[in-house]
């Protein structure tokens, strides 16, 4: 199949490699010409603009956008829309909010263009060697692009999830689960770290990765991380986040669903951003007020 | 009434003042002779030893121990036991674990000595000007010492809670609730602190202390604290704890009672003790492994 | 002062009584004519429409809306706007989202009308006998209506919090704290309820309301509740919520502020809405899968 | 190697099969003679008593106890001790508390008997086809029994973790992580269940098991469970627990380690045991007291 790829960052570039590996033709565009050259070096047809990318494809065109959610994606779609025709297909493989995907799908459907919201999981390596895809959009049109997913995904690694929005909704919840799993694993190692025993964390992660109930890719990644830095002394425990965990909690709030573990995972991330938390000052001050308990002075 | 007071720290000394104020006779002992002199200066009869304290009282003796739980209390009771007679009364006004109180009560009952586990709340000022007491022990013997509590407590501020252990059990749970309330208040101010508005926290605590649903002594204390240091810039947000919150969570675990808010209040205190949490390093390392997300390096 | 009151529900009607008690003139309107008659019986001037209400007031008019947030409030303000003049004052005393208040303030400011977002706390009784008010809006215009708050509030019970939005922001956070405090108190009683002791909950709430660190209006209300139904056997533990707690959590998420206790209080409310939670089924099924642990069958 | 197996329940019997499969000689005992016969049918040497089991082995004997922690294990060890000699080896493969294991190891070391605390994971199937073992005890003695673990475990599936107690400590923390992972997965499906989309949960668990960041054995088990009952309608969401999660939280409390997610997972299990929670009644009653909010009546 011939496919246009917009956005050649870590994920997009690896998808290009994966597609070329599976003998698809790829027309590649990115704002950064170096990235376009790099893709061309791998065998993709370079495009210097969205116009050129569209012109290099035949209807019904299949265009995959792998760009940051929000502004960049919307601007790409806005530019694309007048260039496309009825029956063309736009795939958003990024981490967009499912409500934005719903809105884009509706907007494009007015011109007869199919929009697919595709959640992509598996990390950077997965993009190259086989990832996991959750796909929302029109079912008939999906059958047309299904061969792409069959090639890009690991075995059994893609799902047509349902109507528009369902792909990114699944990816959002996937990330919420990911937050909870990571925090659970991390708390376990924190207990080990504070224990009276002398554990070799790499070995612990290794044995837990083989045959145990908690075996998982994340545990294998923990083994990798500990193999490079046995006590993670070189890094700080600051936990950034990129939005999907927050969306999961917000969605749980809207749906009145209990999600204490996912929420707590997120709040511990936020807590880690403050070297000293204001709520801690308030509690310390209150203890001092009623019980005369000493406070620690700042600097 | 004549009463022996053992332990003349912040709480014990203020109870002595409160008792003397109410025309009780107090025989006072502490390991620190300066404290004994200080109590004598207020009008107490000084005692240089537990033996002398016991000798200065007439049966049935009433002895109030206001000493740290654990070792110190047990050592005091062990020394006292052979000096006391059937019908004498020992009051533990400290923050002992209710199971220790149960054990002490049983041990002393073998000699016919009454033991009361008394939870004391209200802070250092309450000890002097009127506190809150939760009392466990023999009901008949309680009637003998009830006048003490009528004088030491604020109006309606004491409760005969039931058999041995119930006083310290109530105090333990009281402190668990206290942890939750303090954390709730502190989180509220953290949200204000991070908000786009410029709130005057002293004024906020003041208005919330008058007429609102959340008016409470803790909110008044917050007002005091902010009046001295409007943004609490002089203190660090390290939240120490002295055991009762932990006991409440452990008891909830044993009773299979849901106590998420009390538990979370405690875990946030533990979190504040670490400048950099190991679980944070693990999560940061995992994010790096699968998504190539940058980690912050530890200098 | 002469003031128009729109909305004569539990809160609005009690504010009318409170205003009349303090010798203010009140023009009262509600969709329900019976409520208008009832207010008239107390001494208010009845209005049969918003037009009549506006016509009964002299510029600069002061109009207090005590109607549900969202649709009703917006519809009231939309109807009022063309009837009002520059310098008139509209007060929203309901539980509106602070962002809606910001938008309304901006919208009305285009016509020179002052809008105040006023968070009201203290419950239904507070509205009649003295409440707590958190007020956002133009400071100069505030001085004009300050006498109203001096009369309606308990002593020290109102605060000019700052620019538009700050009043409802404070009220939102107040309610978040309220959620946390209530859950903390409730967890304490749950531990007591499952304990091996036989506590008299009314007496416990009574003693904790007098002299303790956790004394608070909520604890006094707990005493009231237990006095009517010692074990609350007549009611189900279903905890509804009306939005402000959720907004507080959402705002904490937006501000990246840690609010685990407030969030957990809310999630326990949501949990209580389900007689059987789906997440419980999943965990039970997983335990069965790996360990052969028995599941309980759903009839 | 020749090994005695005590306890022929689900786990013990499957270990016997696994050992026999790997050409080890097994002497098998259980309180239930039928289980002994069943093991004999598989090729084990039956033993009718602990004495007979010990007599059937040659020094240094290797005896594996796969019996419930607490009473049963202690009674087995007490009976075994006088029958054993210096150099013999006792393995506790059950879910014992690591502090009990420490005590047993010390007690047996007085007679020169080696004790190993072995945490076993992988479920019932793992016991038969390859499990995961975390092993604490004397390192030299471990080399003698290592071949057993090489055969019983999956590849890379056993770890000599360190001195006595470390094996069961690791297993305890493993289960704590397991609680957190299961709750995270379960919350994800709860959000899906309450969402406006119509997801096929079996297919979702399938796609998440292949190539995604959250791929894990637990997700595969979720796929199994949903394949049998697509919405888990046949089971109730009551989540029992067998102790290790509670021990993890208690240990975290003792070590002052933050473990909010593991703790919350446990509290949600406790919450699920109550059809109506007392804390919910308290919150509902308080809302009624201050705001006149309706309560739902019981029955």
pLDDT attached to residue B298? 87
Q: A212, D174: Cβ pair inside 8 Å? A: yes
**Which residue(s) pair with B132 in the sheet?**
B121
- Least CB-CB distance to B156: which of C133, C206, C248? C206
Distance from CA of C127 to the nearest CA of B (A): 10
pLDDT attached to residue A290? 92
Q: D182, C283: Cβ pair inside 8 Å? A: yes
- Going by C-beta distance under 8 Å and a sequence separation of 6 or more, which residues neighbour residue C149? C133, C135, C158
pLDDT attached to residue C71? 79
Q: Which of D253, D272, D291 to mutate to test the interface with B (most CBs of B within 10 A)?
A: D253
Q: Which of B176, B248, B260 to mutate to test the interface with D (most CBs of D within 10 A)?
A: B260
Architecture per CATH, A2-163 = 3-Layer(aba) Sandwich (3.40)
Q: Does the pTM exceed 0.90?
A: yes
Which is catalytic among the residues C21, C25, C42, C178? C178
DSSP per position, B30-82: -SSHHHHHHHHHHTPEE-SSHHHHHHTS-SSPEEEE---TTHHHHHHHHHHGG
Report the distance separating Cα A27 and Cα C80, nearest Å: 58
pLDDT attached to residue C282? 96
- Measured CA distances, B210 to B202, B223, C147, D233 (Å): 13, 11, 17, 50
Q: Quick check: B216 and C214 in contact, CB under 8 A?
A: yes
pLDDT-derived band at A124, boundaries 50, 70, 90: confident
pLDDT attached to residue A291? 87
Q: Is pLDDT of A299 > 80?
A: no
pLDDT attached to residue B70? 78
Q: Which residues of C touch B251 (CB under 8 A)?
A: 191, 195
- Going by C-beta distance under 8 Å and a sequence separation of 6 or more, which residues neighbour residue C152? C15, C18, C19, C22, C130, C131, C133, C158
Contacts 24+ apart (CB under 8 A), A241-247: A241/A179, A241/A266, A241/A269, A242/A95, A242/B293, A243/A69, A243/A95, A243/A97, A244/A95, A244/A171, A244/A172, A244/A175, A244/A176, A245/A175, A245/A176, A245/A178, A245/A179, A245/A269, A246/C253, A247/A97, A247/A172, A247/A176
Q: A267, C246: Cβ pair inside 8 Å? A: no
pLDDT attached to residue A20? 97
Residue B19: left (phi > 0), alpha (psi -120 to 50), or beta? alpha
Domain borders along chain D are 2-163, 171-197+236-278
Total CB pairs under 8 A between chain A and B: 201
Q: What angle do CA C57, C63, C69 make, to 5 degrees?
A: 150
pLDDT attached to residue B68? 85
- Going by C-beta distance under 8 Å and a sequence separation of 6 or more, which residues neighbour residue C49? C29
Report the distance separating Cα C36 and Cα C55, nearest Å: 16
Q: B224, A289: Cβ pair inside 8 Å? A: yes
pLDDT attached to residue A68? 85
Q: B190, A287: Cβ pair inside 8 Å? A: no
Q: Which of B131, B180, B194, B245 to mutate to test the interface with C (most CBs of C within 10 A)?
A: B180
Q: D259, B267: Cβ pair inside 8 Å? A: yes
Q: Which residues of B touch C194 (CB under 8 A)?
A: 255-257
- Measured CA distances, A207 to A201, C195, C292, D170 (Å): 10, 40, 23, 10
pLDDT attached to residue B146? 98
- Least CB-CB distance to A279: which of B187, B221, B278? B187
Q: B258, C131: Cβ pair inside 8 Å? A: no
Instruction: With H, G, I as helix, E, B as strand and everything else as coil, classify residue A22.
Output: coil
C-alpha R_g of chain B = 23
pLDDT-derived band at A71, boundaries 50, 70, 90: confident
Residue with token string 């003693």: C207
ipTM: 0.96
Q: Which residues of B touch A235 (CB under 8 A)?
A: 281, 284-285, 295-298
Residues of chain C with pLDDT under 70: 299
- pLDDT means over runs of 10, chain D (299 residues): 96 96 97 97 97 97 92 93 97 96 97 97 91 97 97 97 98 98 98 98 98 98 97 96 96 98 98 95 95 87
Total CB pairs under 8 A between chain B and D: 49
Confirm whether C178 is a catalytic residue.
Answer: yes
Q: Which residues of D touch C120 (CB under 8 A)?
A: none
pLDDT attached to residue A94? 94
> Looking at residues A121-126, what average pLDDT do you find?
90
pLDDT attached to residue A258? 96
Q: A216, D217: Cβ pair inside 8 Å? A: yes
Q: Specify the DSSP class assigned to residue D68.
A: -
pLDDT attached to residue B220? 98
Q: Which residues of B touch C153 (CB under 8 A)?
A: 210-211
pLDDT attached to residue D254? 98
Report the distance separating Cα D29 and Cα D49, nearest Å: 7
Per-residue pLDDT of chain B (299 residues; tens, 9 = 90+): 999 999 999 999 999 999 999 999 999 999 999 999 999 999 999 999 999 999 999 999 999 999 988 779 999 999 999 999 999 999 999 999 999 999 999 999 999 999 999 999 998 889 899 999 999 999 999 999 999 999 999 999 999 999 999 999 999 999 999 999 999 999 999 999 999 999 999 999 999 999 999 999 999 999 999 999 999 999 999 999 989 999 999 999 999 999 999 999 999 999 999 999 999 999 999 999 998 888 999 86
Cα dihedral value D175, D177, D179, D185, nearest 10: -140
**Which residue(s) pair with B158 in the sheet?**
B133
Report the distance separating Cα B6 and Cα B62, nearest Å: 11
Report the distance separating Cα D46 and Cα B117, nearest Å: 57
Report the distance separating Cα A4 and Cα D239, nearest Å: 49
């Amino acid at each position: 199949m011939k496919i246009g790829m917009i956005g050649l960052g870590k994920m997009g570039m690896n998808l290009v490699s994966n597609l070329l590996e599976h003998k698809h033709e790829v027309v590649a565009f990115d704002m950064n010409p170096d990235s376009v050259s790099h893709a061309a070096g791998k065998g993709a047809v370079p495009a210097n603009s969205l116009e050129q990318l569209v012109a290099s494809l035949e209807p019904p065109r299949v265009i995959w956008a792998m760009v940051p959610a929000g502004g960049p994606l919307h601007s790409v779609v806005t530019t694309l829309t007048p260039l496309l025709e009825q029956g063309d297909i736009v795939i958003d493989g990024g981490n967009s909010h499912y409500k934005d995907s719903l809105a884009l799908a509706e907007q494009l459907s007015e011109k007869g263009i199919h929009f697919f919201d595709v959640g992509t999981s598996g990390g950077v390596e997965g993009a190259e060697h086989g990832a996991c895809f959750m796909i929302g959009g029109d079912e008939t049109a999906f059958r047309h692009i299904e061969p792409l997913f069959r090639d890009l995904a690991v075995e059994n690694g893609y799902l047509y999830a349902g109507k528009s929005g369902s792909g990114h909704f699944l990816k959002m919840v996937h990330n919420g689960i990911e937050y909870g799993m990571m925090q659970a694993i991390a708390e376990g190692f924190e207990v080990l770290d504070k224990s009276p025993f002398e554990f070799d964390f790499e070995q612990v992660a290794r044995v837990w990765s083989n045959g145990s109930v908690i075996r998982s890719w994340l545990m294998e990644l923990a083994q990798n991380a500990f193999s490079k830095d046995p006590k993670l002394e070189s890094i700080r425990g600051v936990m950034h986040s990129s939005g999907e965990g927050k969306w999961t909690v917000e969605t749980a709030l809207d749906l009145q669903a209990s999600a204490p573990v996912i929420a707590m995972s997120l709040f511990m991330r936020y807590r880690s951003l403050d070297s000293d938390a204001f709520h801690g000052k308030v509690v310390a001050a209150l203890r001092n007020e009623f019980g005369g308990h000493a406070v620690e002075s700042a600097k």
